[in-house]
Chain A
Amino acid sequence: MEASATGPEVRPGRWRRHRVTIAFLAPAAILLGIWIVYPTIYTIVRSLFDRDGTEFVGLDNYGEIFSTDILVTAIRNNAIWLAVVPALVTAIGLIFGVLIERIRWSLAFRIAVFMPMAISLFAAGVIWRVMDQKDPELGAVNAGIGAVGDAIDPPGALSTAQPSTKDLGGSPERGISVGRPLNAGDVATLGLTAIPPEDVPGDAEQARKPEPVAGGVAGVVWNDFKPGGGKPGVVETQELGLPGVTVELRDQGGEVVSSAETATDGTFRFEDVGDASYTAAVGPATFEEPFSGVDWLGAKLITPAVMIAYIWVWAGFAMVVIGAGLAALPRDVIEAARTDGANERQIFRRVTVPLLRPVLIVVFVTMLINVLKVFDIVFAVAPASVQDDANVIALAMWRTSFGGVNDFGLGSAIAVFLFLLVIPLLLFNIRNFRREA
């Protein structure tokens, strides 16, 4: 067969056969020529000219890539992408691939994780833009973080409360305390205001100023507010006690010596306090603000936020490709290792991973190429106001060329820069392909 390709004999139908060959190849040749080959040359040449394409500027545009702030940010961000995402996607794919071999519902798992691959990166961006909203009432990510955080460290019951008179000292951060020293037999009045009605516990009753306790300190924590105002610092009718509040008894050094919970009418008491003088304070825990949300879409966290969305999309790809590699591994090698007494971890590190190396490299390199060209998802997740901070090379190329600046010279240079970064990976792919062919 090879001989007939290079053989010297001229067969009668040869010209006719070449004409047929040309007819079969021509449509592809025209399309590839006009849409890929010609533009590639054009863009390279265009990158050496200025904005309008009239003046030859040599490599000035390339110099500009490395001296313009937002472009340097783009390159730096893309470097972070390259360092983090391909390795993470490959690792996640490997872990998922190995783990699902041990469960019965691996197909369902595969579908769940692989599904985002079918969705456009743009739509994936929309999905995560909705997920990542800052307000925990709107963004599911922050709602989740808030729910976990509040379970571990609950927010204060009275996060908005303020002292009702200037006589009280301290602050919500340090706890609100009685301004004067307290001795045995004193009564502490801790009036708070600025409490929204829904924050007042349901079992709250009319507040009551307790009688002094011999040898102890008594007091009341109450909502020092009634319709029409009332007198600050004085317990009046219609003013409710604040039950369930932790009151701390502190010594002169500020150390907490004892703590008590308020009753339904807001009263509390510390028995047998001795001779020293103290202060009583509603502890800072009561005033802790609830979780207000991580600003995922802000300038600082936007790149990690987009990366999470991107990994969510591509993990399935890595899992499926690596899974196929796992399925093709020679079972007898693994069984032999197991018979020799290797444990699962040793088998994974010493047998599975080395055997999978070629597949892992394919996934990793494919992800490098993908990450170099990342565009849609950044465009979709990052609000316009933070796109300078979220910038990556492909996004910078588009924004420079079509996003208002319309500098085709600089835009072409960025495109060529991107192309140059892809070339080593391209050579790697072709070499791989030739080895197989």
Chain B
Amino acid sequence: MEATTADRVPAAQPVRANEREPLSRRLVRQLGKAPLNALLAFIALLWLIPTFGLFLTSLLPADTIGSQGWWTLFSEPSTATFDNYSELLDNDTITSALVTTVFVAIGGTALPIIVGAMAGYAFAWMDFPGRDWLFLGVVGLLVVPLQMALIPMFSFYNSVGIFDTVLALVLFHTAFGLPFAIFLLRNFFIGIPKDILESARIDGASELRIFTRLILPLGLPAIASLAIFQFLWTWNDFLVALTFGRDTQPITVAIFSEFRQFGANIDVIAPAAFLSLVVPLAVFFAFQRYFVQGLLAGSVK
């Protein structure tokens, strides 16, 4: 009889889950969702299979990798081997490409954050003529496709002699990371309570001191989001490195060099590609919250 009264009350009075609701009704409600749960489980599986498939492909023995689908490992799990990975670590091109990737990603992350934070602070808390228009101009640069800079920088790098260097890649990533960095950090810094800054200024703290001791620590959440974003962007870059790298090539370009015989070189391509995505995936899982925040700041604002 309690159930009948509960039936009369529509969901307008939301029943808190686990509270009061009889077990039988909860069970029915959950069972009613079985098709939805099954559908979404199927979709989730669909989304996971490709990456998982690449991983399993990389575990196939080198001599059968070109004639065997990765799912055959389910019936013969004992044939799985890490040999392709140990071969890879003896491959100088791949190992030096991994080192290059690390350097480019670290440089291409640190530099735009430092430079962007300085400019972001200036745009947020310093008065100067044309500030808002200048800031708008920087935001406008956000959507300049980097294709616009490939040809001029190709010539420029050659003439100043830094073509095919880590520096060339880092500076390119820094410049194209800056508009977003300045945009994001300025918007975050402007939310720092004015009183804190004013009192620091009255106490005679220099701008540099305020920047390093106040702004940077207080801006850490935004800086973290940005760092993750910029790190993934530079780590994952292909286009810039393909254009400005010859011997200095990060992992993406090194993998691409193996493409001429995709089927024959799959024993190098699959493990190298998987290695290249282990780091971004680790970053993603470790810092999911910041990742999503940065994404939201970048697209919704």
Contacts and interface: CB of A to CB of B under 8 A. Distances in A.
A339 B116 contact: no
B145 A419 contact: yes
A43 B148 contact: yes
Given A120-B238, A140-B49, A321 B40 contact: no
Given A103-B37, A122-B255, A324-B300, A411 B151 contact: yes
Contact of B69 (A40, A140, A324): A140
B118 A119 contact: no
B174 A415 contact: no
Interface stretch (A14-22, A81-89, A174-182, A212-220): A14-22
Given A31-B178, A123-B277, A380-B256, A312 B50 contact: yes
B288 interface: yes
B166 to A, nearest CB: 16
Interface in A13-68: 17-18, 20-21, 24-25, 27-29, 31-32, 34-40, 42-43, 46
Interface in B171-197: 171-172, 174-176, 178-179, 182, 194
Contacts of B202: none
Interface stretch (B73-81, B91-99, B131-139, B216-224): B131-139
A131 B53 contact: yes
A317 B176 CA distance: 21
A138 interface: yes
Contacts of A369: 143
A10 interface: no
Contact of A120 (B145, B207, B235, B288): B235
Contacts of A373: 145, 147
Contacts of B176: 35-36
Max count, chain A CB within 10 A of own CB: residue among B70, B114, B235: B70
Q: Tell me if A's interface is mostly helix, strand, loop or mixed.
A: helix
A51 to B, nearest CB: 12
A363 B68 CA distance: 40
A122 B236 contact: yes
Given A112-B48, A429-B143, A320 B277 contact: no
Interface centre among A123, A143, A339 (most CB of B within 10 A): A123
Contacts of B206: 20
Contact of B296 (A321, A335, A423): A321
B284 A118 contact: yes
Interface residues of A, number: 100
A103 B36 contact: yes
A283 interface: no
A393 to B, nearest CB: 9
Given A123-B252, A126-B269, A127-B51, A324 B144 contact: no
Contact of B127 (A5, A34, A376): A5
Given A120-B276, A362-B299, A27 B175 contact: no
Interface string B203-237: 00011100100000000000000000000100111
B204 to A, nearest CB: 11
Contacts of A25: 118-119, 122
B6 to A, nearest CB: 17
Given A21-B126, A24-B121, A425-B143, A39 B148 contact: yes
B127 A433 contact: no
| B67, B147, B281: most-surrounded residue (chain A CB, <10 A) | B147
Contacts of A275: none
A130 B265 CA distance: 12
B22 interface: no
B145 A418 contact: yes
B33 interface: yes
Given A39-B148, A115-B47, A34 B175 contact: yes
Given A21-B128, A28-B118, A128-B50, A123 B276 contact: yes
B238 A376 contact: yes
A99 B255 CA distance: 38
Which of B39, B119, B138 has the most chain A CB atoms closer than 10 A to its own CB? B119
Contacts of B179: 32, 36
Interface stretch (A157-165, A187-195, A198-206, A394-402): A394-402
Contacts of B211: 24
A241 to B, nearest CB: 31
Nearest to B182: A28
B301 A436 contact: yes
B298 to A, nearest CB: 9
Interface string B235-263: 11111001100000000100110011010
B142 interface: yes
A230 B211 CA distance: 95
A430 B149 CA distance: 22
A106 to B, nearest CB: 9
Interface in A116-142: 116-123, 126-131, 137-140
A21 B119 CA distance: 9
Contacts of A4: 127
A166 interface: no
B280 interface: yes
Of A32, A116, A137, A415, most buried by chain B (CB within 10 Å of CB) is A32
Contacts of B57: 130
Contacts of A321: 295-296, 299-300
B102 to A, nearest CB: 15
B140 A426 contact: yes
B15 interface: no
7 contacts: A116-B47, A119-B281, A137-B67, A321-B296, A324-B292, A376-B252, A422-B145
Given A362-B299, A363-B299, A422-B143, 12 more contacts: A35-B175, A36-B144, A39-B148, A99-B40, A113-B47, A120-B235, A130-B57, A137-B69, A140-B70, A394-B145, A415-B145, A433-B301
* A-B interface, 7 closest residue pairs, ranked by CB to CB distance from nearest: A35-B175, A120-B236, A118-B284, A28-B119, A39-B149, A39-B152, A426-B143
